[in-house]
Amino acid sequence: MMQNTKKEGIILVNKPKGITSHDVVDIIRRRLRTKRVGHAGTLDPLAEGLLVVLVGRYTKAFLRFSNFDKEYLGVLKLGEATATGDSQGKVIKKCSYDKITKDKIQEVFSSFQGDIEQVPPMVSALRVKGKRLYELARKGIVVERAPRKIKIHSLEILNIDFPYIKFKVHCSKGTYVRKIAEDIGERLECGAHMVKILRLAVGLFSLDKAVELDDVNESHLQKITI
């Protein structure tokens, strides 16, 4: 690991479940005693795993990092749709999944690969007329969202243990994993939501190179070409 004379570079952090990406940034600001800290791609409180933290002049390279493909490990639960698309939201619909076969699940998963359109969820951080969608959602306001083009490079089922499906997805920027789960639930006509989201990679950066948040210090700053 390179020694840094300035507080700048990137830190690969293993974000724990239960806190926001902004919480991680605040913790690292205090730890490094510098204000110029940001991140390159939000992870929701439910989500855990790789968060690329940018420090110093590297914060100016946000777009470069946020444009990278991502890889996730996910677990969805069939039979229940929630208001947020994950296990932290109120259950709004329950349906039986008893007649759904593994072959049907594989067929539906396969239909999501390639270039597709996805409607961003209301709990996302996208802005509409200056307001974050999740801010509107907290007030019970639902607005129309235009579908966005994304690319699912691969969507692999790892295990099916009803009502849970464990899977791995390699996707383009702008992909919402929780929305994939919701859409799969709709196509299976039984509803679904995410119970686990683990980010494995951002571009060439992988989770196995990340440091635990409690252990972050200045020595973990990495300088790369930007």
Neighbours of 123 (CB within 10 A): 22
How many angstroms separate the CA atoms of 147 and 221, rounded? 37
How many angstroms separate the CA atoms of 101 and 99, rounded? 6
Tokens matching residue 171: 């996707």
Assess whether 44 carries a catalytic annotation: yes
What stretches of 21-119 adopt beta strand conformation (E)?
A: 37-39, 48-55, 70-78, 80-82, 91-94, 114-118
- CA nearest neighbour of 195 among 71, 44, 94, 15: 44
Which of 23, 26, 44, 103 is an active site residue? 44
Taking the CA atoms of residue 185, residue 191, residue 194 and residue 200 in that order, the dihedral angle to the nearest 10 degrees is: 0
How many angstroms separate the CA atoms of 147 and 12, rounded? 31
Residue count of the chain, please give it: 226
Cβ-in-10-Å burial (0-12, 13-18, 19+) of 70 comes to buried
Q: Which residues are catalytic?
A: 44
